[in-house]
Structure 1
Amino acid sequence: MSAFVKASAHALMDQPSVNGVIDDTTKEIVYRDYVDISVAVATPKGLVVPVIRNVETMNFADIEKTIQRSGREGS
């Protein structure tokens, strides 16, 4: 899973318009210099979808640990 998350973060950093949002107040596009990704995790109590913040700064091991921790905390 970490390879997919890391590849997605890399692609979003390469294409900032895909990772942008529209500011409701100014109606301007805000280009983010970070990537947050949600990952669905199955737990005994059901599905949880935690947000992994600043994925672009994480290595594969950090991403896997974050996903596993989120699954444990969500159960």
Structure 2
Amino acid sequence: MRAVFDSYEWRTPEQGAATSVLPAASPLVEGVTGRYFEDCAEAPRTTDPGAQSGVRPHALDPDDAARLWKVSSGLLGL
């Protein structure tokens, strides 16, 4: 298990927060909505099932989103 953690590129709290702060406060992405960001940039779309980053097509599918909302709200009794 230690080998897994030792191989990970750890970030400082500031580095970890930067990607969340960018779309929330930066004029660089003003007006950009409905996007996913990684490492202070908009994440690319990918269909590679082995990819460690990026956005998969199902994450952007409105039918999948509606189905997820319906199942989740049902499980929560909403």
Please identify which structure carries the higher strand content: 1
Q: Which structure has the larger Rg over C-alpha atoms? A: 2
| TM-score under structure 1 length normalisation | 0.25
TM-score by length of 2: 0.25
